[in-house]
Structure 1
Amino acid sequence: VNYILIDKFQEKFGSAIQNLSESSVISLELNGINISRFGKLCWLQVSTKETVYLFDILTLGYEAFDFGLRRILENEAILKVVHDCRFLSDCLYHQYKTSLANVFDTQIADVIVRKEEAGGKWPDKLRLLPECLSHHLGLPAAAFQKYSVSRQPLEQASATVWTMRPSHSALLHLAARHMPELLALRTVLLDKLMVPFTIHVGHSLDAYR
C-alpha cells in the first residue's frame, strides 16, 4: 500500500487536508498506546479511494486538529468508515475536542448482517477487522497474517513501538495496509444490509399481481 507520511505543517499537510475536504467517503483509524481518553495517540490514518495519509500526531501535536483535521472529522458531509468507533471517538473527543460525525462502523454493520443471517439471533461476539475482511471480502488468511500476529501485541504489551521516531517503514506499512480495504468492506456490508429491504420490496411488488 502506498501512503503519504505527514509529520510537518508544510505543503503535504495542506494538500492532504484539501483532498480530504473534497472527499465524500474516507476511512479512519488511530494507533497509539491504549487509544481512549486516557491513552496516547501517535498516528492518525485517513484514506480516500486513491490515497492513504499517515498523520504523525505525536510530532504534529494538537495543532494538527486546529489546522484542519478537526474540520474534516466533524464534517457531516464526509462519511468516515471505521471499525469499532468506541475508543477512537472517546480519544478524539476528550483529548482533541473533536466530535466525530457521520460514521459508518463496519463492526456494527457486521453484527447486524450476522443477526439477519441467523434469523434474528444476535451474535455472541464482535469480530475484529481481520475477521471481517476475511469473511466479507474473501481475503485469504495470509493477507492479514502480519496484522493478526504482529499488530495485536503492538496494541497491547508492545504498543510503545508506535511512539518510536523515526518510525520503521514496516510499521508505517502496517498502519496503512488495511485502510483502502476498509472502504471496500463498507461497500460489501451496505449491499448485505440492503438484502432484507430488497426482499420486502419484492414482496410488495408481488402483492397485487
Structure 2
Amino acid sequence: MGDGVAAAAAHLPEQEMPVHLVTLPLQLPRCFVEPNAAHALAIGLDCEGVDLARHGRLCIMQLAFQDAIYLVDAVQGGDALMQACKAALESPHVTKVVHDCKRDSEALYFQHGIKLNNVFDTQIAHSLIELQQGRQWIPDDCISFVDLLADAKYCVGVAYDEKDEVRSLLRKDPEFWTHRPLTNMMKRAAADDVRFLLRIHRNMVQRLDAFSAWELSIRSSLFCRCFCGEDDGFANWPALPAIPGTCLAARHEDPEEVLAVVDVPKGRMGRIIGRKGASIVAIKESCRANIFIGGTKGPPDKASSAVFVIGPLKEVRKAEAILRGKVV
C-alpha cells in the first residue's frame, strides 16, 4: 500500500495536520458545534459509506479545519453524533467546501434529516472559472477530484495515486467503510479526501468574479437539494441566495437559476435514455442545463424515477418540455 497523497505532498503544511477520530459529540470542535455569525468558518467536507445515497449507509463524515482533520464515525457514534453536527452543516455561518455535493447531501438528508446548506462545490466552481475564462460550455464536463488535486492552479499539482487502490478495494468489498476498527489506511484515505479542500477553496475564490461567485452559491444550493425531493417541493429548505444588485445591473439576460424535477413513471426511463444513451445525450446537448437521473421512489410495485434539471430558467423549461414529451 502506497502513501498516496502523503508521499506526493510531504512538503505541504496540510500533510502535517493531525487526524482525530470522533465517536462522541464532545470530541467535535466547539467552533463547529456552536456556529455563529461573529466567527464565520470554512471547512472541507466529504462522506464515505456504502452505496452513499438515499438508501445506502453513511459511515464516515470527514471535516477539514485549518489545523486538523476530524473523522466523524457515524457507525460508532450513530445518529446522536450526526445530530451534533446538524447545526453547523445547516448553518449559513459555516462554509462547507465539497467536491460534488449531490450524493453526500442526499445521504445526510434522508438518513439524518440534515439539509446541507452554504456549500462551496469545487466541481461547480471549476466549471464556472473555466467558462469565465472563455471555455465553451460542454454537457457533463465536470472535473474529477483526482484531476483537481493534480491541477497546479488550485492544489500545487498533488497526485493521489492511492485513490485507485481504494476504489479497487471497494469493488471487492462494498462494505469496506463499515469495518471497525478503522485501519491506518482507511483513516489516511478518508483524511486525504478533505486534506486540501481549503487550499483549493482559497485559490478558487481568488479567480471567481462576482457573478460567477453568485452562480456558484445558487448552483451549489440547488445541487445539494436536487436528489432530496419530496412532495413539499423543498419548502423546508433554506432560501436560495439572492443575486446582488451589482451583478444584476451588469447582466442583460435573465440570470434566474432553478431546479426542476421531472417524474418518470415506472418503465419509461428507457425512452429518456434512448439506445446506448443517445436520447439523453441529445437532450443535454440541446439545453444549456445540468441534467441528472435520480433513484427510484415509492413502493416497489409503483416505483418511479426522476430526472433533475438545474440551470437558467429558460434552458430548464426547454429541457422539461423535451423530457415530458418523451414519457407521455
TM-score normalised per structure 2: 0.54
Please say if residues 6 and 54 of structure 1, whose CA atoms lie closer than 8 Å, have aligned partners that are also in contact.
yes
Distance, in Å, in 2 between the alignment partners of 1:154 and 1:173 is 14
Trace 1:65-80 onto structure 2 (pairs within 5 A).
65-66=82-83, 68-80=84-96
Ranked by relative contact order (alpha carbons within 8 Å, sequence separation 6 or more), the top structure is 1
More helix by proportion, 1 or 2?
Answer: 1
Task: Give the drift of 1:153.
Answer: 3.1
TM-score normalised per structure 1: 0.82
> What secondary structure sits across from 1:153 in the alignment?
helix
Which residue of the partner structure matches residue 203 of structure 1?
A: none
Task: Give the drift of 1:157.
Answer: 4.8
Which residue of the partner structure matches residue 264 of structure 2?
A: none
Task: Give the drift of 1:117.
Answer: 2.8
2:62 paired residue among 45, 55, 59: 45
Q: Which runs of 5+ in 1 are unaligned?
A: 198-209
The count of aligned residue pairs is 190
Trace 1:43-122 onto structure 2 (pairs within 5 A).
43-66=60-83, 68-122=84-138
Distance, in Å, in 2 between the alignment partners of 1:127 and 1:103 is 17
> What secondary structure sits across from 2:141 in the alignment?
coil
Please say if residues 81 and 182 of structure 1, whose CA atoms lie closer than 8 Å, have aligned partners that are also in contact.
yes
1:159 paired residue among 162, 165, 174: 174
Distance, in Å, in 2 between the alignment partners of 1:57 and 1:49 is 22
Please say if residues 108 and 115 of structure 2, whose CA atoms lie closer than 8 Å, have aligned partners that are also in contact.
yes
Which residue of the partner structure matches residue 26 of structure 1?
A: 43
> What secondary structure sits across from 2:97 in the alignment?
strand
Q: Per-residue displacement from partner, 1:105-130 (whole Å, max 9, x unpaired)? A: 00000111122234443365211111
Task: Give the drift of 1:146.
Answer: 0.7
Please say if residues 46 and 193 of structure 2, whose CA atoms lie closer than 8 Å, have aligned partners that are also in contact.
no
Q: Which runs of 5+ in 2 are unaligned?
A: 1-14, 213-328
Distance, in Å, in 2 between the alignment partners of 1:154 and 1:42 is 16
> What secondary structure sits across from 1:180 in the alignment?
coil
Task: Give the drift of 1:65.
Answer: 2.4
Q: Per-residue displacement from partner, 1:79-129 (whole Å, max 9, x unpaired)? A: 000000101111111110000110000000011112223444336521111
State the Cα RMSD in Å.
2.2
Q: Per-residue displacement from partner, 1:177-208 (whole Å, max 9, x unpaired)? A: 242301111111112223998xxxxxxxxxxx
1:150 paired residue among 165, 173, 176: 165
Which residue of the partner structure matches residue 183 of structure 2?
A: 168
Letter in 1 for 2:56: G
Which residue of the partner structure matches residue 193 of structure 1?
A: 208
Distance, in Å, in 2 between the alignment partners of 1:30 and 1:62 is 15
Moved over 4 A (4+): 154-157
Q: Which has the larger radius of gyration?
A: 2
Please say if residues 170 and 176 of structure 2, whose CA atoms lie closer than 8 Å, have aligned partners that are also in contact.
no
